[in-house]
Amino acid sequence: MDWLVDGALSWEKILAFIVTLFGAIGAVVSWFWRKVSSRVSAGVTGVEKGQAAIMARLKEVEKDVEAVQSDVGGLQTRMSDVEKSLSNLATSREVAAVDRQIAGLTAQVNAQSTTMRMLYEAAMRADSSGGKK
Query: For 7-32, what is the HEC assignment?
Result: HHHHHHHHHHHHHHHHHHHHHHHHHH
Domain locations in the chain? 91-133
- Total residue length of the chain: 133
The tens place of each residue's pLDDT in the chain, 133 residues long, gives 565 566 666 777 888 889 999 999 999 999 999 888 887 777 677 777 778 888 889 999 999 999 999 999 999 999 998 888 888 888 889 899 999 999 999 999 999 999 999 999 999 888 877 655 4
Decide if 90 contacts 98 (C-beta within 8 A): yes
pTM here is 0.38
- Residue 22, judged by CB atoms within 10 A of its CB (0-12, 13-18, 19+), counts as exposed
